[in-house]
Structure 1
Amino acid sequence: MKLKLVPARTGATWVKLGMQTFFKQPLALAGLFFIFMAVMSVASTLPIIGLPLAMTLLPAATLGLMAATREATQGKFPMPLILFTALRAGPAKLRAMLMLGALYAAGFMLAMGGSYLVDGGGFARLYLGGSAPTAELLQSPDFQSAMWLFISLHLPLSLMFWHAPALVFWHDLPPLKSMFFSIVACFRNFWAFTVFGLSWMGTIVVAVLAIGTLGNSTGNPGLSSMLLFPALMLLASMFFTSLYFSYRDSFELESDDLSRAAT
């Protein structure tokens, strides 16, 4: 396995491929994404252990969505069980994936805990859906400080785990080594990932504006509210579909890697 350097425009290509692949199997990929969201939501509602458990399962679930995307690119219909690919691949890979998940959970809880210390939990409750946003809360200096602290801690964490599930599962790398190669690959292709992020941000803004315009033009603002959530969920599903292509183009697979990836 070797790192590959790609031009900045490749970031936009990843977005395009994510959308195109989604529309090849929209029912399967949307359904898998909603199962993914349901599993994360149910796990997070468990008392005390809920949030750490959900974060521990996140890398494995993300790998499942990437495996589904790969099947869709091959013209196959991804079945629901593919979401649990990482948990059904034998004890060695299961242990590695759960260790990776535990490391992610620890990092996430550390970032969230840091924000809690800054504003007493205001940002954490809002981020985790435990409270509704208010103008007073959003304008609070402590809230804004907590938000930026969380972002500054969570961003490098996200980069370390961007490719890590795929590297653990398809390349048999140990969790810590996969995290290292993941963040190195993200920095080596900094401009491609920047274009990738900006392209998705632009897509979301355009979608929100289009839905708002539709509601205003029909004289039915409630229509915008009704359409906004499912539209954002579909875009989120396409985003997760595009993750596979960012991984695929960031690493040059060698013969042994190709044989493992085919299984």
Structure 2
Amino acid sequence: MKLQIVPARTGLQWVQLGLRTFKSQPLALAALFFLGMASMSLITAVPLIGPVIALALLPCISLTMMVAASEAAHGRKPTPALLLVAFRSGSQHTHAMLTLGGLYAAGFLLIIGASSIVDGGTFASVYIGQTPMSVELAEDPEFQSAMWMSMLLYLPLSLAFWHAPALIHWHGISPIKSLFFSLVACVRNFGAYLVFGICWAGVFIVSGMVLAMVTGILAAVIGPIAGGLMVATALMLAAMFFSSIVFTFRDCFSPPDEAPDTAVLPSSPPPSPPSTEL
């Protein structure tokens, strides 16, 4: 397996491919994402261990969307059965995915715990829904410090888990190695990921502005459902975002025969990037 070094402009291509793939199968991809989020919400309701289990399942949901996007890019319709794709490839694969999920939950809880040192646990309480958000809290310096510290600590965790589910699924790599290779890939292709993040931030901001304008103009008509419309739009955008992740994986690692051979933009053929042996 080789790490591919891609130019920064590839980040824009990933966003375009994600949007194009979602457009090809919008209902199927959105339904899978909604089902995944609904499942996690139901699990979270279980006392004590529910939130931890939900955190541990997040890498599995990410893998579901990557496999589903790969299927859609090949012209095939993703099915709800893909929700269990992380557990359908044998006991060794299932154990690896469960281990990865446990590591993610542990890392996330450590970050939340570290934020409690700064503000006494207020940010953690708000994040898990035990304390309602308020203007006073948002303006509190300790709360802001805890929030920014959590975001800073979450960045390396997110990068380490970005490709890890796909590396386990398509390359059969162990959980620890997958975390290392994922982090290295993100760091070595920092420019492309920066462009990717900026472009998606732009998509979210523009979409939010358009939605706010529409709901403002049609407030008298859609007033009672404006909140639901905004939530549905946010979930739809999140599904689009997750549909683009598989392309970041496809271009960062040399694909073996079993890797997702997803389509590239016809108008922008992929460059021949240098590679680094892992």
Taking structure 1 as the reference length, what is the TM-score of the superposition? Answer: 0.94
Relative to structure 1, is the Cα distance of residues 217 and 173 closer, same or farther in structure 2, using a 3 angstrom cutoff? same
Equivalence for 1:258: 257
Q: Residue 167 in 1 paired to residue 171 in 2?
A: no
Equivalence for 1:145: 145
- The DSSP-based 3-state class of the residue aligned with 2:257 is helix
CA-to-partner distance for each residue in 1:68-125, whole Å, 9 max, x for gaps?
A: 1111011111110112111111100011111111111110010011112322222122
Equivalence for 1:119: 119
Relative to structure 1, is the Cα distance of residues 72 and 136 closer, same or farther in structure 2, using a 3 angstrom cutoff? same
Letter in 1 for 2:53: L
Equivalence for 1:235: 237
Equivalence for 2:71: 71
Letter in 2 for 1:248: R
Q: Matched residues, percent identical?
A: 48
CA-to-partner distance for each residue in 1:139-158, whole Å, 9 max, x for gaps?
A: 11110111011112111000
Relative to structure 1, is the Cα distance of residues 26 and 141 closer, same or farther in structure 2, using a 3 angstrom cutoff? same
Figure out how many residues of one structure are paired with residues of the other and give that number. Answer: 259
Letter in 2 for 1:157: L
Report the Cα offset of residue 224 of structure 1.
4.8
Alignment of 1:76-91 (within 5 A): 76-91=76-91
Report the Cα offset of residue 216 of structure 1.
2.9
> Is the CA contact 1:211–1:224 (under 8 Å) kept in the aligned structure 2?
no
Letter in 1 for 2:230: L
> Is the CA contact 2:70–2:260 (under 8 Å) kept in the aligned structure 1?
no
Relative to structure 1, is the Cα distance of residues 43 and 219 closer, same or farther in structure 2, using a 3 angstrom cutoff? closer
> Is the CA contact 1:123–1:147 (under 8 Å) kept in the aligned structure 2?
yes
Relative to structure 1, is the Cα distance of residues 252 and 130 closer, same or farther in structure 2, using a 3 angstrom cutoff? same
Letter in 2 for 1:240: F
CA distance in 2: counterparts of 1:219 and 1:169, whole angstroms: 46
Any stretches of 5+ residues in structure 1 without a counterpart?
none
Report the Cα offset of residue 259 of structure 1.
3.3
Q: Residue 184 in 1 paired to residue 180 in 2?
A: no
CA distance in 2: counterparts of 1:218 and 1:100, whole angstroms: 46
Alignment of 1:4-43 (within 5 A): 4-43=4-43
> Is the CA contact 1:164–1:182 (under 8 Å) kept in the aligned structure 2?
yes
> Is the CA contact 2:33–2:239 (under 8 Å) kept in the aligned structure 1?
yes
CA-to-partner distance for each residue in 1:162-200, whole Å, 9 max, x for gaps?
A: 000000111011111000000100011101101111111
CA distance in 2: counterparts of 1:73 and 1:22, whole angstroms: 9
Equivalence for 2:271: none
Any stretches of 5+ residues in structure 2 without a counterpart?
262-278
CA-to-partner distance for each residue in 1:14-35, whole Å, 9 max, x for gaps?
A: 1111111111111110000001
Match of 1:246 among 248, 253, 259: 248
CA distance in 1: counterparts of 2:9 and 2:239, whole angstroms: 22
> Is the CA contact 2:164–2:179 (under 8 Å) kept in the aligned structure 1?
yes
CA-to-partner distance for each residue in 1:222-242, whole Å, 9 max, x for gaps?
A: 365442211111000000001
Higher relative contact order (CA 8 A, sep 6+): 2
Letter in 2 for 1:206: V
CA distance in 2: counterparts of 1:129 and 1:84, whole angstroms: 28
- The DSSP-based 3-state class of the residue aligned with 1:6 is coil
CA distance in 2: counterparts of 1:230 and 1:20, whole angstroms: 20
> Is the CA contact 1:68–1:83 (under 8 Å) kept in the aligned structure 2?
no
Query: RMSD of the TM alignment (CA)?
Result: 1.6
- The DSSP-based 3-state class of the residue aligned with 2:20 is helix
Q: Residue 197 in 1 paired to residue 211 in 2?
A: no
CA distance in 2: counterparts of 1:52 and 1:219, whole angstroms: 39
CA distance in 1: counterparts of 2:141 and 2:2, whole angstroms: 45
Report the Cα offset of residue 56 of structure 1.
1.2
